[in-house]
């Protein structure tokens, strides 16, 4: 804070008890030491050949493409869900929120089974789709659906929290000035919570990138079709441990870059009070 003298700054630093730093350091080491242990096992001499094999490149490209597609799907469905949960009030709202966030707490393989018994050839909706000549299970589409199923709650949770924190004063002013709900959403709400939306999308992408259980159960493991990078790592673990370690390091590196984008997202300023009437009039 500007204007704080040395004594005040020192007091502010000591506002966190020393034992908290000790426990925090232990928690950080609990995450970092296993990662360092894995990095120490990387065969750096063969690193490039290991990650550039045909199967590895196929898995990496498929992971990036399906993660991007599932993130887009999360945005399409997640933004309306977050808006309804944060702005509306209706009977059963808490139950709906609990069900939407359920993929956060159940094992991914359970989500894969749910998708399989719904969209598989003998599933609840899969039978009708099969009659129409549409096979969803064990396809690239199944990979995208499995990833979106487990990643959607991350975007909903992040965006709902941002919406509640932002409040509704700007939206209320725009509405009283005659702006339609869609105009308020497009010109006031979305720009106001855009950083939270971007953060949620990045987290959804990262979660999709590392998805394994639901993908394996619902989509299988076909090279170039459904075998994503986590599945490739799992298969290589049995036949080529060096390749599995190298690909694991690659996946971690990509995930670190993606997650780091969350903290580099610029915070957009809130609409100024004198700009609301002009926005609402639009």
- φ/ψ (deg, to 5) at 277: -60, -40
100 touches 180 (CB < 8 A): no
User: What is the rounded distance in angstroms from the CA atom of residue 214 to the CA atom of residue 227?
Assistant: 12
pLDDT score recorded for residue 11:
52
Instruction: Write down the residue that tokens 């018994």 correspond to.
Output: 117
Q: Read off the pLDDT of each residue in 66-83 and give the average, rounded to a whole number.
A: 96
User: What is the rounded distance in angstroms from the CA atom of residue 17 to the CA atom of residue 12?
Assistant: 11
Delineate the domains of the chain, giving CATH numbers in brackets.
1-40 (no CATH), 46-281 (1.10.3720.10)
Q: Summarize pLDDT for 204-223 with one digit per residue, the tens.
A: 999 999 999 999 999 999 99
Q: Summarize pLDDT for 220-267 with one digit per residue, the tens.
A: 999 999 999 999 999 999 889 999 999 999 999 988 888 787 666 445
159 contact partners, CB below 8 Å, separation of at least 6: 78, 79, 82, 86, 193, 196, 197, 200
pLDDT score recorded for residue 178:
85
140 contact partners, CB below 8 Å, separation of at least 6: 62, 66, 219, 225, 226
Q: Summarize pLDDT for 121-138 with one digit per residue, the tens.
A: 989 999 999 888 899 999
pTM, full prediction:
0.84
């Amino acid at each position: 804070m500007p204007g704080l003298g040395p004594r005040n700054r020192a007091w502010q630093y000591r506002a966190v008890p020393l034992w908290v730093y000790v426990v925090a350091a232990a928690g950080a080491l609990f995450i970092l030491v296993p990662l360092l242990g894995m990095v120490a096992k990387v065969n750096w001499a063969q690193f490039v050949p290991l990650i550039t094999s045909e199967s590895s490149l196929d898995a990496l490209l498929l992971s990036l493409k399906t993660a991007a597609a599932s993130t887009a799907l999360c945005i399409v469905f997640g933004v309306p869900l977050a808006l309804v949960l944060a702005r509306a009030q209706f009977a059963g709202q808490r139950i709906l929120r609990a069900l939407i966030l359920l993929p956060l707490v159940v094992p991914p393989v359970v989500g894969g089974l749910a998708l399989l018994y719904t969209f598989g050839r003998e599933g609840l909706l899969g039978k009708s789709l099969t009659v129409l000549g549409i096979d969803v299970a064990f396809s690239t589409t199944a990979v995208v659906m499995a990833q979106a199923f487990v990643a959607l709650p991350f975007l909903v949770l992040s965006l709902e929290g941002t919406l509640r924190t932002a409040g509704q004063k700007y939206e209320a002013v725009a509405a009283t000035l005659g702006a339609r709900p869609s105009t308020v959403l497009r010109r006031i709400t979305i720009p106001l919570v855009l950083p939270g939306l971007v953060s949620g999308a990045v987290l959804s992408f990262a979660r999709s990138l590392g998805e394994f259980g639901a993908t394996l159960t619902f989509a299988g493991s076909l090279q170039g079709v459904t075998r994503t990078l986590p599945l490739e790592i799992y298969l290589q673990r049995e036949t080529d441990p060096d390749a599995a370690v190298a690909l694991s390091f690659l996946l971690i590196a990509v995930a670190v870059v993606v997650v780091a984008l969350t903290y580099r997202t610029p915070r957009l300023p809130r609409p100024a009070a004198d700009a609301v009437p002009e926005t609402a009039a639009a």
